[in-house]
Amino acid sequence: METNDIPLPVKKKKPVEIHNYPKESIIQYSDSERSYTYNIIKEGTYPPAAYLKYTKGQKGFRIPDNYEAETSLRKPKTRQVVRCIIKYVEKNPVYWIYYGDRFQYHVKSEKSSSDVACLYAKALNPETKTHYSGPHFFGLHLEILQQTRDTHRRATVLKSFDNLTSTGQNNQAKKIAKSVSAIFDQEMTKSCHLDDNPNLKSIEFSIKDNFFNFSFNEENVEIKHKARAAVQACDKGQVTRKGYRILSSISQDLPREWKVSAEKKEITHEMNEIIPISLINITPSPSDNSVNSEIHINDSEIINNLQQSIGKGGQRNIINILKYLIPGLLNRNVLDITNSTIHLRISGDGRNVGRKVKQVMVTCSILNDFDNIYRPENYYTIILYPGVEKYETLNVVLEPLIMELRKLKEEGFRDNQNREWKIELYFSSDWKFLAMCLGLNAANSKYFCPWCEVSKEQQGDFSYEWTINKTMDQVRENYTFYKGHIRPAIFDMISLQNWVPDELHIMLRITDVLWRLVIDELKSRNTWGDRARNVIIEEMKRIDVKFHFWLEVGSTSWQYTSLMGQDKLIVLQHFDLTKLFPNSRATQI
């Protein structure tokens, strides 16, 4: 009996990668059909998914960009070494194979790695029927390279938490919280009965000692109140966003910074609904390049924002402000329904924001609240614009305010409860701003007084009896009737008796004059010299006031420090004049 021998199937050799990559650049690969050795010169990276390309075939290997390797083909008789390069050009891969003793020859293809491998084979022997596998020729199939590229890609995308911005950190934490919430929802449907009503209340975790707490579903009223309290504390204590972030990282009980920021935005939105801010287009005034030694605001963010808003001003409606304030004033018994007159003061002044930008602000305050009249939070901004104090600009910017004040003066207004209120208007500012709004030539002109027609030459002459003899009606009818008035008054609806210069500015100016008189008297006594200046400097040090003398270049006149308000008060109260004058004269001064 004859039998036919059936050959057993040949078991294919599993692919093997031998390497110590990335410490060493050599990778050896072999399977049942071929054997290669690769020297990786440039590992390459996978481009964005939008234009990442794949090789043809079932496996479809990803094609890297900026990839370079030397491939050694092991053959029984010959050994070939080629250099393979892949680069993306206009979002498509281009393939090169360099060959020769010094890689002086090359072939190129924009089709595929297999196509350029065939071109290489034909370049060596046009009659050849040899076909190379492009992915194996270039090493696109190597698992270690794919894994390493993926690792580098993840490391590039996932930055360390410390290297993220505050927004990036918050977004990462929110993403984690949303993922946990999604997992909870999935498990809830699998593990809980429909009537169980499971509810995820909050998630709390930390990343690099930064604590995060997220509430879900219903808004937690207590958390909202704490966030609002934090906003109020930051505003009153002038705590910056960065400063609060540091504080909240120390104490887990404080609301998170992102929550406080969100609450600030919500409050701003609510206030914009109650008291909207409208923009005013203005023609930028020529910049005043004179350097003022006192900078009122030096916050770089505010300065940059203000520089970008040149040519625009902001305005708020006084009636909206009053309607918002009246309920609180009634509860505190500041206002009385039986005596329905609100005494409203309008104030204005310029200030320096940095050394290059100036700003003009007009505010209002309620004089009925006498106990709190000097508190800054009781002054409400109604006009704000970047620029200098200039009559022409003020006349344009204040036009909506002027119309509103005139209507308030004549008709009063009704609050949200339909209660009728009368308005008594006042104006207060420093003398310069007051004179400008009144239409005077200047605060230091010959006829400088807002209330009478005294001239500079008549100052100190007590034989004259100067009273308030000007009237706003006459100014409104014909402003040239009074000497020194060269323009119409801006706030002509306010009685002239209610125009009051600011006490602080008057005090500051008077102390400047008094200090100059002290220096002048020392000169008249022939005691002005290095000794007197040294005595003054030492006395200023004793009372903790910074003060210096200096000579300008090319000048023999001594200059000295211009003191601020608080320092002037200290000098008035504590400077010992007996060190400069005899006791009797010091007592008189």
3-state helix, strand, coil in the chain (%, to 5): 40, 20, 40
Quote the pLDDT of residue 64: 94
3-class secondary-structure state, position 206? strand
Q: Sign of the CA dihedral 531, 533, 539, 541?
A: negative
| Amino acid in position 236 | K
Quote the pLDDT of residue 281: 76
Quote the pLDDT of residue 553: 82
The strand ranges marked E within 226-317 are 277-281, 312-316
Quote the pLDDT of residue 286: 47
What would the DSSP string read from start to end of 94-133?
Answer: EEEEEESTTS-EEEEESS-HHHHHHHHHHHH-TT------
3-class secondary-structure state, position 512? helix
Domains with residue ranges and CATH for the chain: 16-155 (3.30.160.360), 166-273 (no CATH), 277-500 (no CATH), 505-588 (no CATH)
Give the model confidence (pLDDT) of 62-72 as tens digits.
999 999 999 99
Q: Please give, one letter per residue, the 3-state secondary structure of 298-310.
A: CCHHHHHHHHHCC
Give the model confidence (pLDDT) of 170-194 as tens digits.
888 888 888 888 888 778 877 887 7
Q: For the chain, which residues score pLDDT lower than 50?
A: 1-4, 284-293
Q: Which residues contact 509 (CB under 8 A, 6 or more apart)?
A: 431
